[in-house]
Amino acid sequence: MVRKRVVVDFSSPNVAKEMHVGHLRSTIIGDSICRLLEFFNHDVLRINHIGDWGTQFGMLIAHLQDTFPDYAKKSASISDLQAFYKESKKRFDTEEDFKARAICAGDKEIIKAWQDICDVSRRDFQVIYDRLGVKIIERGESFYQQRMVAIVEELTKGKFLEEDDGRKIMWSSENSIE
């Protein structure tokens, strides 16, 4: 048998939210697949892509600034973060001034708060992974943020991207609608 490198994508939980049964199911299935492949001596990369980037963090941090003033000194629990996230989403959808604050680029304090939120979530996720005996390599969406810039530039120069309402989209000829 030829040894192959295999990538298995795991549960992909969202930062600032508790894991749910869907995450557990895909984690157990992914780990089972990995163990089987490793038994047959394949090189397995156990990647867990977590949702740790985007507007939702601006919303959450802006809301924390307003309702949990000690957020920079005292970490909220994962349950509290999930509740704060739900509250921030309501505000984002209904308060224009809040929305403007939530989508602004962050300074050092905002980036530190984002990192703290990610750390709280990681610790919570890791308790479950440890209990299940699951070993993974984490890759957050933020891992790819700087890497995407060069790829988007290259695809733009090659005229592979199409503008659509401020977004850049690449259509494959196999999936095009005629």
Query: 32-54 pLDDT, tens per residue?
Result: 999 999 999 999 999 999 888 88
Of the given ranges (86-90, 106-110, 140-144, 173-177), which has the lowest mean pLDDT? 173-177
**Non-local CB neighbours of 12 within 8 Å, separated by 6+ positions:** 23, 26, 48, 49, 50, 51
Query: 15-33 pLDDT, tens per residue?
Result: 999 999 999 999 999 999 9
Q: How far apart are CA 4 and CA 167, in angstroms?
A: 36
Query: 156-169 pLDDT, tens per residue?
Result: 999 899 888 888 88
Is 90 exceeded by the pLDDT of residue 128?
yes
Tokens representing residue 134 in the block? 């699951």
Of residues 72 and 176, the one with the higher pLDDT is 72
Per-residue pLDDT averaged across 112-138, rounded? 93
Q: Name the β-bridge partners of 162.
A: 169
Quick one: which of 50, 66, 47 has its CA closest to 58?
66
Is 70 exceeded by the pLDDT of residue 106?
no
